[in-house]
Structure 1
């Protein structure tokens, strides 16, 4: 079995595959199997306490359980987690394409030309590599800095500048707040920001998500309940907007060569626009399979509805509210790997496995 991606989703998939008696090979594009965490902005901290950040089989330790871990703590944790898994993890192995084999299974090609046959594939490559850039009128003519938050690192380069951050989620608010002491910042949103208290009755909101069962609500229920992005806040962000440290305005209607046109028709020069507009699944390598619809995987709870032996992990709301988080991805991994193991153990897979192993010494099999 091939697992594409060596972040939290891929590593938990490998652990679940080993527990199911499979032999996983993890192909990861980066230099070490820690996902995209090293590429996030420097000051990023999790909005969930350490006690809710453990992957299956290893406690997220190293300090107070109620602290909010920093980016580099997550990197260190995933590094140790990868070492604890007795799986073949190959780094600097970016998957370029997954193709169907005529006699069943898959042929996985990397960007270095390596080819590996596999009966099963788990796409666990996340979404960080595919930031969403919304269509903005005038974008091509804008002479200022325009970047997605995926490429933002720290606030100092924006000192003394006029900056607009687009988005109403956690990253948008956190980045705007961080830049505000250095620059004049506006949050451009399509609706007022929805704040959720970080702590309720003295307990972090994640405690209540767990005890109430919201963390495990199925996707069908979530679709009715979750309508807009919400920002977890201790009060700091709400106060920053209330006091004017961070300005909040309705989304601009267009970019001009030197700035933006606001919803009221006024034009203003702007030095930089940072788009905290989310991500889309980074699954272009599956295009040869026909497993995607407009870039989105066709699946049921992470199990492909187009190809037996194909699964997904790390998708937002894949099965539950916590699917693409450290605390929730392990449950999805068990579900998906159990389903794929059942598919791969049936019918002609055993015959094809024996035949392919005889023909290809580099074949990877379950």
Structure 2
């Protein structure tokens, strides 16, 4: 069976929800495909917390905001600081209901454009035809892993996006590779679940743990909305300075609420270090560090972050030869359009052309406004 729509949104995460909702608000016939909030539900621990507050939302019209959800549900923001992932997911479900979004939970297995119209082939064999497609691939496609990880048994070396349950690691010795928020939050979660020892290994110094404000991002988003192509037209030194600020606030300063959960005597830090060798023998994994330290652990957690590589998004394989890509990032116009007319990419994969703030939910409403207004230009 083949169905027809003006706009197909592939993905059902925050960026997809924001774009689909705004497109519908602007009168565009829109079909959303994807399992609702799948990465957030299935590849994030149920007891993790957000770094952002209720001022970050999904609505390009500023009506059905996260703060409006708190008010509607009678929730006191002071009692939900930090915000749990469960509260955030409840908010996205509420947002979808208010916007009349009912994502089609089938998955796209192939996307082509044979005769000027996009054809998305679904996992069940059905097809959806669309004049335009917005792809919002989640970060799960882009997990980074060091070269040495394939020297270890897959069951005992997992990326943070694949480790959401910690009960099996009670009493275990675990090495966490990385030093950003996810590394230390996973270390805290391991402590919460009774790990015997947690070694956190990272190249930079031990981060500071303090309460930070993300309001500095507001100006950058406002500039992006006010001036088409604002980020790409900035001098290189200004882009670098903004990147450094994101690194200092978001990477070298981590959330203060982690500190009480990093159990002394359990968590051991190895700043300024990297893994030079890795191997396994019997039930143990051996890691050699650049400072000469050797670790013997039961499990390795890769908190190595994400890097876009559009070739790793399987449903785009059928059109990728018509999409210009640089260093894994799609080459985008000032309206998020790729070099294939009618195909737009938003979210984390757009950060090179639009700035690091589009790797956060903060960018959702502005990205939605820009991409939909581009279609209507």
TM-score range, shorter chain: 0.7 to 0.9
The secondary structure found in structure 2 opposite 1:322 is helix
In structure 2, C-alpha distance between the alignment counterparts of 1:216 and 1:274, rounded to whole Å: 37
Q: For the Cα contact (< 8 Å) 2:187–2:262, is it kept in 1? A: no
Name the residue aligned to 1:331: 366
Q: For the Cα contact (< 8 Å) 1:133–1:277, is it kept in 2? A: yes
Name the residue aligned to 1:288: 318
Q: For the Cα contact (< 8 Å) 1:42–1:153, is it kept in 2? A: yes
Task: Report whether the alignment pairs 1:120 with 2:132.
Answer: yes
Q: Cα distance, 1:312 vs. partner?
A: 1.4
Matches within 5 A, 1:240-319: 245-249=266-270, 250-257=273-280, 258-281=285-308, 283-289=313-319, 290=321, 291=323, 293=325, 295-301=328-334, 303-315=336-348, 317=351, 319=354
Deviation by residue 1:128-147 (Cα, 9 ceiling, x = unmatched): 2442222117x324587100
Task: Report whether the alignment pairs 1:51 with 2:55.
Answer: yes
Q: Cα distance, 1:48 vs. partner?
A: 1.1
Task: Report whether the alignment pairs 1:109 with 2:121.
Answer: yes
Deviation by residue 1:65-93 (Cα, 9 ceiling, x = unmatched): 352211111111111111222356311x1
The secondary structure found in structure 2 opposite 1:261 is strand
Name the residue aligned to 1:347: none
Q: For the Cα contact (< 8 Å) 1:164–1:272, is it kept in 2? A: yes
Name the residue aligned to 2:243: 226
Closer/same/farther in 2, CA of residues 296 and 51 from structure 1, 3 Å limit: closer
Q: For the Cα contact (< 8 Å) 1:43–1:154, is it kept in 2? A: no
Closer/same/farther in 2, CA of residues 192 and 145 from structure 1, 3 Å limit: same
Name the residue aligned to 1:171: 182
Name the residue aligned to 1:346: none
In structure 1, C-alpha distance between the alignment counterparts of 2:103 and 2:257, rounded to whole Å: 41
Name the residue aligned to 2:15: 9
In structure 1, C-alpha distance between the alignment counterparts of 2:90 and 2:263, rounded to whole Å: 37
After alignment, is 69-78 or 320-329 more displaced? 320-329
Name the residue aligned to 1:69: 83
Q: Which runs of 5+ in 2 are unaligned?
A: 1-6, 224-229, 233-237
Closer/same/farther in 2, CA of residues 98 and 147 from structure 1, 3 Å limit: same
Q: For the Cα contact (< 8 Å) 1:99–1:108, is it kept in 2? A: yes
In structure 1, C-alpha distance between the alignment counterparts of 2:289 and 2:98, rounded to whole Å: 52
Query: TM-score normalized by structure 2?
Result: 0.78
Q: For the Cα contact (< 8 Å) 1:322–1:329, is it kept in 2? A: no
Q: For the Cα contact (< 8 Å) 2:177–2:201, is it kept in 1? A: yes
After alignment, is 81-90 or 221-230 more displaced? 221-230
Name the residue aligned to 2:211: 198
The secondary structure found in structure 2 opposite 1:119 is strand
Query: TM-score normalized by structure 1?
Result: 0.80
The secondary structure found in structure 1 opposite 2:59 is coil
The secondary structure found in structure 2 opposite 1:306 is coil
Q: Cα distance, 1:106 vs. partner?
A: 1.1
Q: Cα distance, 1:335 vs. partner?
A: 0.1
Q: For the Cα contact (< 8 Å) 1:215–1:321, is it kept in 2? A: no
The secondary structure found in structure 1 opposite 2:317 is helix
Residues paired across the two proteins, number: 329
Q: Cα distance, 1:162 vs. partner?
A: 1.3
Task: Report whether the alignment pairs 1:42 with 2:52.
Answer: no
Q: Which runs of 5+ in 1 are unaligned?
A: 200-204, 343-366
Closer/same/farther in 2, CA of residues 136 and 320 from structure 1, 3 Å limit: same
Closer/same/farther in 2, CA of residues 74 and 302 from structure 1, 3 Å limit: farther
